[in-house]
Structure 1
Amino acid sequence: MAYEPTADSAIPGPAVPDSAVPEEAPVPPALPTDRHTGCPFDPPAALTALTALSDRPVRPLRYADGHVGRLVTGHAAARAVLADPRFSSRYELLHLPMAMEGAPGELPPAPIGDITGLDAPEHTRYRRLLAGRFTVRRMRQLTSRIEEFTADCLDAMEQAGPTADLVEAFARPVPTLVICELLGVPYADRGRFLGLVEVIFDQAADAGARDEAYAGLLRYVGELVLAKRAEPTDDLLSDLAAPAPGPGSGDPAVPGPAASGLSDEELAGIGGLLLAAGLDTTANMLGLGAFALLTHPGQLEALRADPDLAGPAAEELLRYLSVADPLLRSALEDVEVAGELIRAGETVTVSVQAANRDPGRFPEPDRLDIRRRATGHLSFGHGPHQCLGQQLARVEMAVALPALFARFPALRLAVPPEEVPLRERSSIYGVVSLPVAWEEE
């Protein structure tokens, strides 16, 4: 379906006629995910229609394996679920709300180091260790490096121009270099690191190749842990891997325990988690965010004209695009949310994109407005599992996107917007590629 952007307003979302709204919604067969019709930045049309069927922010949902759980679409109800310790994040208790190729019938427990699939007290122990490493000082240091990485990528893009795939030239390499800096990946190893990353996030690669690449990445992080113990540098992994005083301290051949109390296996798992959480989401936010701004020229011109809008623009794009969706929880006991009783054992699917478009929280939610005060969105989650690296992601967007459009003031899509391939087969939404062009001076 072709669409034409306007100068200052978002591409309109799907409309639901009043005559089509019954009093009660049927139990949907699965979470709607198809975005092939309508605006590529809006939630799936079927999800929008579903949430318009009644004013119930919590409703039944049939899962891929036949389980009947709940779907949460309202902003207040979503916050309530995500903040409540009576809802578990343990993978083995969850059911998938949509069919996913290669997904097991029953989800296994979280691998070692993956704190997103744990509850307190295990989750609390990990989170306290990690939260102390995301310091204001380190974020400030990384800001200057993000500016350098962005400039380097834009230099290479300009030199190779006047056309590019913005995903390959900009959206993926910038956050990859930032993750390398955060973890302390040596410059000489970045080719190996980047090669593994490319396979892991290549949707065209088969599942076996991606699994093998991820295993290779964990092996590499394990090697890096030992190297950091022997020769620590100023990075997050060195902080976590620093040896405790005593025999073997500083000797990679005699690995003593880390002062953090984390095992080598835990450290490798945490490194893999930081990669998955901090790279793929940010890369897709940069790619899809650039796409959104290119199709909303009035918003783009406002960003170019006022550098102070960089932060609010990043926040609004996070809300408007909601690339990481949905979030899953399992009720550990009977809990009432928004007047609905959720039974123990039911899986609850929190639709971030629906909650971020809740008109009760964000007026005119389907309109992209970089001047909007979009704080309070749920794109980083909420509660005990709220994203640890959210400030870093905000800085990456606030630095990289304005720099892109400042360097290339005539940047435009090289294909009609409806021909931009969308990344629909992943839990992280985005664009597969974003062909762009500009006029050479």
Structure 2
Amino acid sequence: MSLPVLPLPDEASCPFGPHPEIDALREHRPLTRVRCPAAGIEAWLVTDYADVREVLGDSRRFSSSGGATGHLLASTPPDSPVEEGDFARMDGADHVRFRHLFAPAVGTAKRMAEIRPMVQRIVDEAIDELAGQAHPIDLHEQFAKPVTTAVIGELLGVPAGDRKIFHRTAEAQFDNETTIDEFSAAKQPLFEYVQDLITQRRAEPADDAISIMIERGADFSDLELVKMASGLLVGGYDATAALIAHGVLALLEEPAQLALLRENPDVVPGAVEEVVRLLGATTGMLRIAVTDTEIAGTPIAAGDYLVAMLQAANHDPAQFPDPGRLDLRRDNRRQLGFGFGAHLCVGRQLARLELAVVLGTLFRRISGLRLAVPIDRIPFKRNSPITGPDRLLVTWDEIRPA
């Protein structure tokens, strides 16, 4: 019998959760063999919360060398060699070396406190820009993308006029129909641009993430620094923008929870975690078994691929009662939307900060914000590991001054 295809999101029937088949798989077959057509591989689909956490949390048994989205993207096959600077595909001490350099640039509470005023300014300016436009507008294209572009651009010291270069690379990287050669061609201009930035910062350091990494990374090669900075530029762009748009949509569809957010600013941190739990940020994370082992009593052979389905884990009713409901007061400290273990998302604190500022500002300043079309007419992303609305048409009554 042919294997089933990896269940991808089906927003027509479930706009805020995993594919409807996932619940049945988790209940009856928590590990299921599936085909991943874009990558041309077969894998074990892991859907239970405890099992997903076990796979992601044990890098000695399950390697990240295939790339987190290697099961979805033809441009980054999971069996390709790990090259210099490919930190996201490294394990053990090699990966830890990069994380230690990322932390002071984008991962500490101190750094987030330092850049919070910058994020708040960018969000307010983006809302001010909306006030001068006819509406309805596309909130994803005209608000979320400009916000995340400006934040990651300012964080790394990329001038506004140069930021389209990482848009083009991201669009190529996150399209599962992009070929290896096409992706190689798309990322080369970005690598060359970032190399020029690194050369400039070596000569004239500034207060940006690239300068921090140069200062603290004396033993890092230019290529390693280029790949780190490029990874932040590309990864911090549309993944966060899509999460912002998707989170706004989820809140607009839950008036009681939206009213709670408007009336109680103290729920913003919990709202951020709940949005991440409910929606997830990608269609599973790929791992490769290093040795013969087992998960949930199922034998796993060395070399087998596994797809740890984060959103399925975050919708496991054994861990999160009534998981399909948006509940801003939920205890969701154990949600896995940013991953788990050694490869926990290096940009998670920045994404949290951006989402927190947006949720704490957007609904306060824009009164009567609402969908301009029925939810069943909202197009969602396709052919991409990033989930969320492709366009989100909204309108409003009034935009208040900052």
TM-score (norm 2): 0.90
Q: 2:364 aligns to what SS in structure 1?
A: helix
C-alpha displacement of 1:224: 0.4
Give the aligned partner of residue 29 of structure 1: 4
Answering whether residue 259 of structure 2 is matched by residue 301 of structure 1, we say yes
* AA at the equivalent of 1:192: D
* Among 169, 173, 177, the residue aligned to 1:200: 169
Higher helix share: 2
Report whether the alignment pairs 1:76 with 2:45: no
Change (3 A) 1:225 1:323: same
2:342 pairs with one of 384, 395, 419: 384
Looking at structure 2, the residues matched to 105 and 150 of structure 1 have their Cα atoms a distance apart, in angstroms, of: 37
Offset, 1:238? 0.4
Residue type at the aligned position of 1:227: Q
| Structure 1 residues 201 and 126: CA distance shift in structure 2, 3 A | closer
Distance 1:157 1:212 in 2: 35
- Tell me by how many angstroms 1:153 deviates: 0.3
Partner of 1:137: 110
Label 1:36 to 1:178 Cα distance change in 2 as closer, same or farther (>3 A): closer
1:311 to 269, 275, 292: 269
Equivalenced residue count is: 392
User: Is the alpha carbon distance of 1:211 and 1:303 closer, same or farther for their aligned partners in structure 2, counting shifts above 3 Å?
Assistant: farther
8 Å CA contact 1:142–1:178 kept in 2: the answer is no
CA distance in 1, matches of 2:71, 2:170: 22
Q: Displacement of 1:215 after TM fit?
A: 2.1
Give the partner amino acid of 2:129: A
- Which residue number corresponds to residue 122 of structure 1? 94
How much has 1:162 moved relative to structure 2?
A: 3.3
- Among 98, 117, 133, the residue aligned to 1:160: 133
Output the CA distance in 1 between the equivalents of 2:82 and 2:167.
Answer: 23
Matched residues in 2 for 1:68 and 1:440: separation? 51
Per the alignment, do residues 402 and 89 of structure 1 end up closer, same or farther by CA in structure 2, a change over 3 Å counting?
same
Structure 1 segment 2-41 matched on structure 2, within 5 A: 28-41=3-16
Runs of 4+ displaced beyond 6 Å: 203-206
Judge conservation of contact 2:75–2:183 (CA < 8 Å) in 1: no
Moved more, 319-328 or 61-70: 61-70
Give the Cα separation in 2 of the matches to 1:334 and 1:385. Answer: 22
Aligned counterparts, 1:410-429, within 5 A: 410-429=368-387
Residues in 2 aligned to 1:389 and 1:97: alpha-carbon distance in whole angstroms = 22
Matching residue within 179, 183, 188 for 2:156? 183
Displacement of 1:289 in angstroms is 0.6
RMSD between aligned residues:
2.5
> In the alignment, which residue of structure 1 is the partner of 2:146?
173
Show the counterpart of 1:434: 392
Cross-structure match for 2:85: 113
**Aligned in 2, Cα 1:298/1:28: closer, same or farther, shift over 3 Å?**
farther
Aligned partner of 2:15: which letter?
Answer: P
How far did residue 425 of structure 1 move? Answer: 1.4
Partner of residue 353, structure 1: 311
**Distance verdict in 2 for CA 1:272–1:110, change over 3 Å:** farther
- Which residue of structure 1 aligns with residue 200 of structure 2? 227
Matched, 1:59 2:32: yes
Q: Shift of the alpha carbon at 1:356?
A: 0.5
Larger RCO (CA under 8 A, 6+ residues apart): 2
Aligned residues of 1:72 and 1:78 also touching (Cα < 8 A)? yes
Q: Which moved further from structure 2: 346-355 or 196-205?
A: 196-205
Contact 1:162 1:439 in 2 (8 A): no
* Residue equivalent to 2:246: 288
SS at match of 2:32: strand
Corresponding position of 2:299: 341
Change (3 A) 1:160 1:110: farther
Distance 1:154 1:340 in 2: 51
CA shift for structure 1 position 266:
1.1
Larger displacement relative to structure 2 (220-229 or 336-345)? 336-345
Q: Rg larger in 1 or in 2?
A: 1
Report sequence identity in percent. 38
1:114 deviation in Å? 2.9
CA distance change for structure 1 residues 66 and 156 in 2, over 3 Å: closer, same or farther? closer
CA shift for structure 1 position 96 = 5.4
Alpha-carbon distance between aligned partners in 2 of 1:277 and 1:412, rounded to the nearest angstrom:
28
Q: Distance in 2 between matches of 1:292 and 1:106?
A: 33
- 1:216 maps to which residue? 189
Aligned to 2:20: 45
After TM superposition, give the deviation of residue 220 of structure 1 in Å.
Answer: 1.0
1:234–1:34 CA distance, 2 compared to 1 (3 A):
closer
Give the distance between the partners of 2:285 and 2:78, measured in 1 at CA. Answer: 17
- Kindly indicate whether the alpha-carbon contact (under 8 Å) linking 2:45 and 2:308 is maintained by their aligned counterparts in 1: yes
- CA-CA distance at 1:202 after TM superposition: 4.4
Instruction: Quote the offset at 1:50 in angstroms.
Output: 2.8
Query: Counterpart in 2 of 1:368?
Result: 326
- The 1:419/1:110 distance shift into structure 2, 3 A limit, reads farther
What are the superposed Cα offsets for residues 143-184 of structure 1, whole Å, 9 maximum, x if unpaired? 111100000000001111332110122111112111122212
CA distance in 2, matches of 1:95, 1:401: 28
- The question of whether the paired residues in 2 share the 8 Å contact of 1:29 and 1:63 is answered with no
